[in-house]
Amino acid sequence: MTALTHARSEQLSAEHAVDAVIVGAGFAGLYMLHSLRRQGLTVQVLEAGADVGGTWYWNRYPGARCDVESFDYSFSFDEQLEQEWSWNERYPAQPEILRYLQHVADRYDLRRDISLNTRVSAAEYDSSSDTWIVQPENAPAVRATYCIMATGCLSVPKTPDIPGIDAFTGEVYHTADWPKSDVDLAGKRVGVIGTGSSGVQVVPALAQRVGHLTVFQRTPAYVVPAGNHLVDADTEQAVKANYRERRRVARASDAGLDRNENPESALAVDEDQRNRELADRWRKGGLPFLGAYADILADQQANEAVAGFVRDKIREIVSDPDTAEKLIPHEYPFGTKRPCVEDNYYATFNRDNVSLVDLRRDPLQAVTATGVRTSAENHELDALVLATGFDAMTGALTRIDVRGRDGAALAEKWDAGPRTYLGLGCAGFPNMFVLAGPQSPSVLTNMVTSIEQHVEWVDACIAHLRRHGYRSIEPTAEAEDAWVEHVNDVAGYTLMHHANSWYLGANVPGKPRIFMPYVGGLTGYEQKCNDVADNDYEGFVLK
């Protein structure tokens, strides 16, 4: 026991003790709470936000929407829930997902075990009692046997290190920390920095309401149409009549949703046939575009054929040829950054009140008191929107002072990149579970499917520990090393290293360049997790 743990345990005698503490009340935290409660555990959820929802609580910028269809981006664990809930849109907008999660919290009476406005700053394992002491910034510590991190992959917004950014006298908003109150940008001169998924969504939404919109683009995105529309009664009825099968297919797929995967190579067909297939998927919309050919993410030439189709589409949609060329990505393969899904992004650049600044040709020099200065021009602005992304995957965990056995710090252990066994646990951190984080399929899949898989595995694991009287579970260093190597090997067979993406930590200066999610697919991954459990939790030590 370290001095810190000792001091805290002295304080704790009169404080809250439960079987499990869960950090975060988004999709993962809510389902984990519901599951553990069902097996009779006492649970406390600590949530930084003022309400449940996680990602969908914070990312309330105009245009915020999920890139997975609502029928799939929802819980499957309760047939009655999926039959009773009605989605308005094919792709749910942020307010609709937040309403859904609020409904889930109320429906299963989850709120009584959730402390809101409670940001966790530290968590430490106390070896003498095999318990965790989890310390919020502003509330008494909670002691628990199990510490479950449901902290999300995209929950630490990244503010760019641009000279002068604090000197700007106008309004500044980060997409991932958008105010709850109305933001009135009508008639104003607004700049958006960043053209990832958030930028691509906020740009068309803002263009309709501001005076002038200036988009500062460093790297262009590949954007495929969503094909969004309202859900009609016939569609809803048809989905609900076959919902179990839809869920089964999603869970048995590599992406956690049915992308209508074509097993063929893009190079096995001639150009006309390929373009017909791609045109059909483009018309239907969404991430199934990525399922058009099996080797899009594995073969440079196959990828180039698909990227070429998208580039032609951009030239077709954007009227000004110079603007179109600026919007076309050349520097990285299609799909190696998460493709953006949005119906009106490219067409927005045909509007008179929207201009594009290509920071590759005209670099950003500074933010001034009144706007943004690039090499060629001073852009006077009333408001600046930062769509500059996140310290993804590891940021939410490394900013908490997590200490395992003998006071070892997780942030130090992960100094050269995340190290886990199956993404679920870490050697030296007994009884700590991570839900849908680094080194699991998580962000490369429909997150809700991956979250359900993880929650159900952890739930069964804890039931097993309790049934057999084990006090702790912890991966062996050997199993962890082997998994880290496997995660890296599999990523090495793909083109994923060819982009400076947040998957690789490349968007955060100084962060190690390691491919963080597991690219091997959900199906094989789930099988591996189940085999591990069936083999007496092979690779873990149970005490």
Stretch (H or E) spanning 480: helix 477-492
Parallel, antiparallel or unpaired: strands 142-149 and 378-380: unpaired
At closest approach, how far in Å is the CB of 335 from ligand NA7? 12
Q: Confirm if 53 and 24 have CB atoms less than 8 A apart.
A: no
54 is a contact residue toward ligand NA7 (CB under 6 A): no
* Under 8 Å between Cβ of 517 and 444: yes
Q: Nearest-CA neighbor of 454 among 475, 435, 476?
A: 435
Q: For residues 174 and 193, what is the distance between their CA atoms, to the nearest angstrom?
A: 10
Query: Is residue 387 close enough to count as binding ligand NA7 by CB under 6 A?
Result: yes
Per-residue interface string for the shown chain with ligand NA7, residues 160-179, x marking contact by CB under 6 A: x-x------------x----
206 touches ligand NA7 by CB under 6 A: no
Helix (H, G, I), strand (E, B) or coil at 224: strand
Count of positions on this chain that bind ligand NA7 (CB under 6 A) = 21
Q: Any contact of residue 196 with ligand NA7 (CB under 6 A)?
A: yes
The β-bridge relationship of strands 142-149 and 432-434 is parallel
By the rule CB under 6 A, 444 interacts with ligand NA7? no
Q: Report the C-alpha gap between 216 and 363 in whole angstroms.
A: 10
Look at residue 313 and give its three-state secondary structure: helix
Least CB distance to ligand NA7 at residue 361 (A): 13
> Which stretch, 33-41, 227-235, 386-394, 486-494, contacts ligand NA7 (CB under 6 A)?
386-394
Distance in Å, CB of 131 to ligand NA7, minimum? 35
Of 88-96, 385-393, 480-488, 530-538: span binding ligand NA7 (CB under 6 A) = 385-393
Q: Which stretch binds ligand NA7 (CB under 6 A): 35-43, 120-128, 244-252, 384-392?
A: 384-392
Region from 89-97, 181-189, 194-202, 532-540 binding ligand NA7, contact rule CB under 6 A: 194-202
Q: Is residue 70 within 8 Å of 89, Cβ to Cβ?
A: yes
CB of 396 to ligand NA7, least distance (A): 13
Report the residue from 388, 394, 445, 453 that binds ligand NA7 according to the rule CB under 6 A: 388
User: Could you give the count of Cα atoms lying within 13 Å of 168 in the half-sphere of its Cβ?
Assistant: 24
CA within 13 Å, CB half, 71:
24
| Under rule CB under 6 A, residue 195 binds ligand NA7 | yes
Task: Return the number of the residue (131 or 442) whose C-beta is nearest ligand NA7.
Answer: 442
Instruction: Pick from 46, 93, 154, 306 the residue near ligand NA7 by CB under 6 A.
Output: 154
Q: How far is the CB of 97 from ligand NA7 (least distance, A)?
A: 13
Which residues from 500-539 bind ligand NA7, rule CB under 6 A? 502, 507
- Binding residues for ligand NA7 restricted to 307-346, rule: CB under 6 A: 338
Question: Of the two residues 123 and 364, which places its CB atom closer to ligand NA7 in the complex?
Answer: 364
Residue 364 interacts with ligand NA7 (CB under 6 A)? yes
How many other C-beta atoms can be found within 10 angstroms of the C-beta atom of residue 358?
Answer: 18
Q: Nearest residue by C-beta to ligand NA7?
A: 196
Q: How far is the CB of 176 from ligand NA7 (least distance, A)?
A: 6
Helices (H) and strands (E) in the chain, counts: 17, 20
**One residue of 197, 374, 398, 450 binding ligand NA7 per CB under 6 A:** 197
Measured distance CA(379)–CA(190) in Å, rounded: 10
Give the residue with the Cβ less far from ligand NA7, 442 or 472: 442
Short-list 318, 356, 360, CA closest to 207: 356
Q: Which stretch binds ligand NA7 (CB under 6 A): 166-174, 189-197, 266-274, 365-373?
A: 189-197
CB atoms within 10 A of CB 191: 26
Closest to ligand NA7 by CB, 154 vs 257, is 154
**Run of H or E including 284:** helix 271-284
Count other C-beta atoms under 10 Å from residue 272's C-beta: 8
Give all strands (DSSP E) within 277-414, no chain letters: 340-341, 354-358, 364-367, 371-374, 378-380, 383-386, 401-403
The site map against ligand NA7 for 467-506 (x = CB under 6 A) is -----------------------------------x----
Question: What three-state secondary structure class fits 300?
Answer: helix
Counting contacts by CB under 6 A, is residue 199 touching ligand NA7? yes
In three-state form (DSSP H/G/I as H, E/B as E, the rest C), the secondary structure along 79-115 is HHHHHHCCCCECCCEHHHHHHHHHHHHHHCCCHHHEE
Q: Is 445 a residue that touches ligand NA7 (CB under 6 A)?
A: no
Smallest CA-to-CA distance from 390 within 243, 177, 534 is with: 177
Q: Does 198 bind ligand NA7 (CB under 6 A)?
A: yes
Q: Is 286 within 8 Å of 91 (Cβ atoms)?
A: yes
Residue 160 or 308 having the CB closest to ligand NA7: 160
The smaller minimum CB distance to ligand NA7, of residues 122 and 172, is found at 172
Q: How far is CA 138 from CA 48, 238, 375, 474, 511, in A?
A: 10, 48, 45, 30, 29
Site for ligand NA7 in 213-272 (CB under 6 A): 218-219
Q: Binding of ligand NA7 at residue 92 (CB under 6 A)?
A: no
Based on the shown chain and the rule CB under 6 A, indicate whether residue 365 belongs to the binding site for ligand NA7.
Answer: no
* CA–CA distance, 525 with 163 (Å, rounded to integer): 43
CB-nearer residue toward ligand NA7: 433 or 502? 502
- Closest listed residue to residue 367, CA positions, set 509, 185, 166: 166
The interface region with ligand NA7, picked from 166-174, 273-281, 383-391, 467-475 by CB under 6 A, is 383-391
Work out whether 155 is an interface residue with ligand NA7 (CB under 6 A). Answer: no
Show the tokens assigned to 147: 């510490």
Positions that interact with ligand NA7 (CB under 6 A): 154, 160, 162, 175, 193-199, 218-219, 338, 359, 364, 387-389, 502, 507
